[in-house]
Structure 1
Amino acid sequence: MIRDPETQALLEEGVRRFVQEALVPREDEVAETDRIPADIVAQMKEIGLFGLSLPEEYGGLGVTMEEEVRIAFELGQTSPAFRSLIGTNNGIGAMGIYLDGTDEQKQAYLPSLASGDLIGSFALTEPEAGSDAGALKTTAVRDGDHYILNGTKRFITNAPEAGLFTVMARTDPGIKGAAGISAFIVEAGTPGLSLGKIDKKMGQKGAHTCDVIFEDCKVPAANLIGNREGVGFKTAMKVLDKGRLHIAAVAIGAAKRMLRDALGFAMNRKQFGQPISDFQLVQGMLADSKTEIYAAECMVIDAARKRDEGKDVSIEASCAKYFSTEMCGRVADRAVQIHGGSGYVSDYAIERFYRDVRLFRLYEGTSQVQQVIIARGLIRGAAI
């Protein structure tokens, strides 16, 4: 749902200019230094990118799901690290508090998350609990007015920069699976919380992940999200439905950028006395990429509109995330092929994008997890 088409058009154009004029020229710098420059972070704060999806009452822009994915189409057209830094504040790092937190929790944390003064992080995955999130082993034991947390979280996005962690932990060891899991707000610097070394990844330089370790970490009971035990997994799933649509849109943005670069290269690169864009086999790769991008874009916008209407979009969100991220991988492969040998060297952005976009098919639920969600949803529906 777009509330005001004119305002939305201005917002998208502003983000598009920011991406092209401020972010794209700094991509190589981010790749070389593995960090986002402080002046870029300041600009992202100034234009409100950290609070895109957070409500206006907490200092955010309060965009709808459709408005958000259309903005993500633009943000995706540069190095994913830029989007990753703001992504947790607009998604998994803040949405749990917004959706299920108490009024006091919302007032305490959402304004700082919306401004970007506080970076949020979502700590769910563990060494032995990734796709099977219900198997997590981190524990939270009630001790008076506190909970004592113990366990290790793995591959946690923005953990090195985070000032706040939304942590999933098991409060009832007697309940197997998801029902015994609760969600907590844990501030950076809390005694007993420590970070592992920053992961060295295949791609996405500038976007950092690391282990988050809890050793007798004492968290106030008031930081139990919603003041309710046993509903943390439900909170996580609510957050992930929204996050999957966002990641799908980012993947579409990246695919648009890669196709644009491949098209420009094909029109300028000459072989046999003519641009390679004249060759039908190259044209086929360009056409397939455009067709799949268009299909993914339509799918994401449709799912976003349904979510804005208040409909359950668990299946649609998984369909969109699955198709869009797999599509992005295919476009990346074709773009490297069109570039030929030039696509394998770092002089061209496609070499970096080829590595960067591989992660899209893994986080917010792997492609295989999306297949399971879709199939189980169909089976449930048929059984009613």
Structure 2
Amino acid sequence: MRLTFLLVFLLVAGCADRERIDRLSAGTEGQNTRSVFIGTTRLIDTQSDTPSYRRDSALHFARYDVVIPPENPAGRVRMPRRHQAFDPAQHFAVSDAALLSPAEYRSGVARALSAMPENQRESIIFVHGFNTSFIEGVYRVAQLGNDLRLPGVVLHYSWPSLGAPLAYAHDRDSALFARDGLEQMIRETAATSRGRVVIIGHSMGGHLVMEVLRQIAISGDRQLMGRISGVVLISPDLDVDLFRAQATRIGALPQPFLIVSSQRDRILQLSARLTGQRERLGNLSDAGAIDGLGVTMLDVSAFSTGAGHFTVGTSPALIQLLEQVGAVETALGLEQAGRLPLLPATILTLQNTTQIILQPLTGTRPWRAAAQPQAVSVD
């Protein structure tokens, strides 16, 4: 019964016109626009110059200027439903878009970085997950950058997901197909400047990120690996044993390395059932299963509602908490070493893994820890 419910949920979630791109002229007073640089291995539609769901072995670059509706609710990406008229007061839109050559991509990213304070010169590459159309991914990256006030330049790697809720096997193959493209995008991005490169992978995109890090490590290019200054896996749809094997082959993981998980993630519950498992990396209940890898697990179960598969980007309460107390910087190790995070959380320290269990703000209590941060021996 639960499996049927989740399949129906996935089908109903497709009511929006997910491939539709609405255009809005730039320059409107008060317009909130985020520029997103894109690398993609989707085949370019020759009639519209828009990436499609088909695969292409070549890596293409683009820049999309996304207009975020005024007073857009935190965590929301709203697109018109089929046959619904576009409303600029509610719906995301594009004010400008252009395909770029590799040289234009590098120079565009470099200019954007040079316009920022030196301590914010980060290139943040977001890799989307299963069942994501091209424009959905672009809008989501713009929303994340806006709501979480991410520093640096926001980039998006768009691999050729079919954008269909029942195409899990197709998308898994497409993610593996897209490994070389992501590696090339990381190389092109690292070549733009001396700024830091941070990689964020969501769901199946987390699997793709780990495969590419493993690929770079096997190549022996430690210089490129050294340019990656942080990795975040959000709700990774990834077998736990496979993750351990990937991490072991990579060796020293980029630091900081953060896994955002939720035990109430119903999409990963479905994925686990489809793969004959109890849980996936993104809804792992016991951080001891990944001890010794030098990672931090951020448990956001308390904020998960609905499918709970992208809580860090869709929960207004969590977004507000992360913004107000700087939990993103804390979780990524950018605060002073040894300082407890100023957020309501239970902190469990294992041999070489830290688990932070976030809690909603209650009263005046700034944070909650189980006694003190504990050293738990896991054999």
- The TM-score, its normalising length taken from structure 1, stands at 0.30
Q: Which structure has greater strand proportion?
A: 2
Q: Which structure has greater helix proportion?
A: 1
Higher relative contact order (CA 8 A, sep 6+): 1
- The TM-score, its normalising length taken from structure 2, stands at 0.30
